[in-house]
Amino acid sequence: MKRELIFLGPPACGKGTQTNKLSEYLGFPHIDTGSLLRAEIAKATPDGLVAKSFIDKGQLVPPELVGNIIRNRLSEEDCSNGYVLDGYPRSLAQAEMLEKINDDVDKEAADFKAIYFDIDTELLIERIVNRQSCPKCGEIYNKKFKPSKVENICDKCNVELKTRADDNEEIARARFDTYFRETAPLIEFYEKKGVLHKMDANGSIEEVWDRLLNIVNN
């Protein structure tokens, strides 16, 4: 049976790390909406050009356009057995849109799971203020939880790691307030449908991975 997996969780909760591992484990594409948009823009597709026109003005890309880009991606052959979708949906309207997309794309019954990364906010603050990334390969590090072998240098590329200007406590707390306010209705939406799986996302990468596999394989 086709498996459709979406991930919900606040910034720095570990979704990116775990979804990359899970995508490789299952052999399903990991679809990150931010990367998907950037790819469409880079390829100068019709949807990408329209998206770029909004982004260049500092405006949000219309939800209908994002939905169309996701629909096209989920219709591709490599998604026929399943997908791992990260960063979408972020609102009730997008959740309802995703349901319609799946109904249109699916040729057979599918196992849909929404996995919520439940984690302590104070731990997230620590993760964010200590986060670093490689400007070349995109690898994520953390000075406290996942440091590079050589301080401030990427293990893979041997280039200096960068820290985002907005990775500070004040901005992080504001982002969390916004996230929890907007996501609460989504959690209720998927709970009512009986497809929400809350997962303890506190602990090491390996501990969270074991919990994730337990949900995915059952």
Residue at 42 is within a domain: no
Question: 148 vs 38, which has greater pLDDT?
Answer: 148
Confidence check: pLDDT of 60 > 80: no
CA atoms of 19 and 152, how far apart (whole Å): 25
Residue at 87 is within a domain: yes
User: Which residues are annotated as catalytic?
Assistant: 15, 90, 131, 164, 175
Range of 8's domain?
Answer: 2-29+76-120+183-216
Residue at 56 is within a domain: no
Q: What is the pLDDT of residue 188?
A: 93
Residue at 129 is within a domain: no
- What's the average model confidence in pLDDT over 81-87? 91
CA atoms of 29 and 19, how far apart (whole Å): 10
Q: What is the pLDDT of residue 94?
A: 92
**Could you give the number of structural domains in the chain?**
1
Q: What is the CATH number of the domain that holds 96?
A: 3.40.50.300
Confidence check: pLDDT of 161 > 90: yes
Residue at 164 is within a domain: no
